[in-house]
Structure 1
Amino acid sequence: MTSEVFEHPALTTAASRLSALRAAAGRLGVPDPVAALRHLDCSPASIRTSASAVDTGALAVTSAQAEFRAGVDRAENGGSTETFGTWADTVDGQYVAAARAAASTAAVGVRIAERLDELASSVSAEVSLIAASAGSSVAAVLAGDRSAEAVSEVSAACTAVIRAVSAKVATLSSLAAELEPLTTPAVELS
């Protein structure tokens, strides 16, 4: 049996552990338990890398803001007009807001990556136990047994895997709520 590869290594492991259950499910025409894992597949490492890049960007904006502020201070002390000072304060505030928004975005990215990693690892362990507990019935079905008991246990195990994945997917709405504030521009440029 060929095992599927997922973005998250724990899900690849789970798919491998579900391969016999999947084969039995296929013989019985019940839902594929491995297919359910696709709904939770993710790459926390990629999300962390992106969050780190955003955080690095926040540091660059903070550095640019500091250079800008120093230049404004020099210009204001050199007798520049009050209008320039007001404009410069506005731009300075935009730099600060952009840096704050980038740092906040990076922090959300790290939290999301951690939560997705936790969910994938948790579901992997849970579905592996489900598959193991149905092992004798799975082996029986694969050997040709179509008794009500074996068929029922394999079907119930597939349903339990799908429910376990669905329960984890349902918790993702809280992550979506964290992303909502990031959908509007952090800074409106003047």
Structure 2
Amino acid sequence: MTAEVFEHPALASAASQLSALRAAAGRLGVADPVAALRHLDCAPASIRTSASAIDTGALGVTSAQAEFRAGVEHAENGGSTETFGAWADTVDGQYAAAARAAASTAALGVRIADRLDELAVAASAEVCALASAAADSVSAVLDGDRSAEVVSEVGATCTAVIRAVQEKIAALTALAAELEPLTAPAVELS
């Protein structure tokens, strides 16, 4: 069996540590515990990099807003019309809203990356402990033992691994709710 590639290092390590359990599960025709880990695989470092880029973009928008505001104040003091001032205030508000939205998105990206990382690390530790506890039964199955006791323990361990992963996935629901505001434009341009 070839090793599967995972983005998250803790999940890659867990997959490696579950290889014997996976082999035993395959011989017994029960659910693949390593395949369950795939549902939690993530790349928090990439998400953090994207969040940092968004944050840098927010700083650029804030800087552009400051330059715009300085130009507006100069134009208003030079005798420009009231219409220009109202338009400039609207554009200035849009700059501010865009900068706030970008900064908020960046902060959310960091929170999401941190939470995904926590869940992947916690799941990895939990499933490795489960596999370790069943190591004797796994070895027995791999050596050809099909007694009810060892078969039951291997099957129960695979089920427990899947359940542990499902619980971590369920914890992502709150993160999904935080993403909802990002589905609408942050700023409506006029």
- Short-chain TM bin: over 0.9
**Unmatched runs of 5 consecutive residues or more in structure 2:** none
CA distance in 1, matches of 2:3, 2:132: 17
Taking the TM superposition and a 5 Å limit, the aligned residue runs for 1:118-157 are 118-157=118-157
Tell me the amino acid that sits aligned with residue 57 of structure 2. G
Aligned equivalent of 1:22? 22
Q: CA deviation at 1:181?
A: 1.1
CA distance in 2, matches of 1:115, 1:185: 25
Whether the aligned pair in 2 keeps the contact of 1:3 and 1:12 (CA below 8 Å) is no
CA distance in 2, matches of 1:163, 1:55: 37
CA distance in 1, matches of 2:141, 2:124: 23
CA distance in 2, matches of 1:114, 1:188: 30
> Normalising by the residue count of structure 1, what TM-score does the alignment of the two structures yield?
0.99
CA distance in 2, matches of 1:66, 1:119: 40
CA distance in 2, matches of 1:49, 1:133: 37
Aligned equivalent of 2:79? 79
CA distance in 2, matches of 1:181, 1:4: 35
CA distance in 1, matches of 2:18, 2:3: 9
Aligned equivalent of 2:158? 158
Identical aligned pairs, as a percentage? Answer: 81
Q: CA deviation at 1:183?
A: 1.0
Aligned equivalent of 2:115? 115
> Normalising by the residue count of structure 2, what TM-score does the alignment of the two structures yield?
0.99
Secondary structure of the 1:42 match is coil
**Unmatched runs of 5 consecutive residues or more in structure 1:** none
Aligned equivalent of 2:68? 68
Q: Deviations over 1:152-185 (max 9, x none)?
A: 0000000000000000001111000010111111
CA distance in 2, matches of 1:120, 1:92: 42
